[in-house]
Structure 1
């Protein structure tokens, strides 16, 4: 059964990776400005959480309606890991191989949108300048190193959500006495 649980999680991870990659390709093909929109980023976050939950639900069904905390979290985490790796590979291919200039343009657009957002919140000019300086110091957000670092942070953040999902979804079989 353990192998089946992992295959379910891997399949959902591939679905997640395909969906995230499709959104990335659409954003790249339609307008890089999409990447600066808050709703676009929130869409990615919601998709990751929903597909992770679906993976746990499917794993629970596979196990006869019962799933341990460990198996629920494992299903969620494997789904997240596979999806994040696929998405990262697509980002690396698009922004480092196919069109490296797009990553530079996108970096500038993200800084501009951040400045506009901070100005709309009446943040002092010194704080905005400091934020811009930090963003410029980070370099290209879509460099291979930054993408790999992003995967680590995403795994950490979404794992917290995965722990909550696993706790909510776990259901142990009744003990036979």
Structure 2
């Protein structure tokens, strides 16, 4: 991977991590309950996707409009991975070191939101109780759980990255 596109991907990853971390810290400071809203997840999904696509497009531009599948995927994935790792580090620091009580409040909010959603979908009370008990036993902000979450998110976004790379690749006709 060329140094210029690698550097560009790293920069976009840092911007993404800074954006995600800022959202976490901002909602932590303003209204912790906002971090449990479903629409925030959709907005963040779209922002993450846009960062990955823009990073890939920038790399393609840096290469004169031609990019291989590998270069396109690498550009996308480096951006996403750095963004997630930085954001996760901030979350671990915030909810495990700085304010562990906030993690408990968030956990309670997530449990209540899940209960309401399951009731709205007409889930049987026994299933609701079982799901709530499982959530109550877990610490979603534990470092191990955060690392698992990052791994699953990276796999999910890597699949999307394969599609982005496939759509962005363009072979230089002057190269054999």
Partner of 2:67: 67
Partner of 1:26: 26
Deviates more, 1:14-23 or 1:127-136: 127-136
The alignment partner of 2:88 has SS state of: helix
Partner of 2:166: 167
Deviates more, 1:36-45 or 1:9-18: 36-45
Instruction: State the 1:44 CA deviation.
Output: 1.4
Within 5 A, what are the aligned runs for 1:68-83?
Answer: 68-83=68-83
Q: TM-score, normalised by structure 2?
A: 0.96
Aligned mates of 1:17, 1:163 — CA distance in 2: 21
Q: Spell out structure 1 runs of 4+ moving beyond 6 A.
A: none
Aligned mates of 1:126, 1:150 — CA distance in 2: 27
Instruction: State the 1:144 CA deviation.
Output: 1.3
Instruction: State the 1:29 CA deviation.
Output: 0.8
Deviations 1:38-70 (A, max 9, x none): 001111111111000000000000000011100
Query: What do you get for the CA RMSD once the two structures are aligned?
Result: 1.2
Within 5 A, what are the aligned runs for 1:128-143?
Answer: 128-137=128-137, 139-143=138-142
Count of residue pairs brought into register by the alignment: 176
Deviations 1:101-152 (A, max 9, x none): 1001111110110000111111111111121122223x11111111111110
Aligned mates of 1:141, 1:102 — CA distance in 2: 12
Partner of 1:120: 120
Q: TM-score, normalised by structure 1?
A: 0.96
In structure 2, the gaps of 5 or more residues are: none
Aligned mates of 1:47, 1:96 — CA distance in 2: 26
Instruction: State the 1:176 CA deviation.
Output: 5.6
Aligned mates of 2:57, 2:130 — CA distance in 1: 45
Aligned mates of 1:104, 1:136 — CA distance in 2: 10
Partner of 1:101: 101
Aligned mates of 1:110, 1:102 — CA distance in 2: 12
The alignment partner of 2:149 has SS state of: helix
Query: 2:44 matched to 1:55?
Result: no
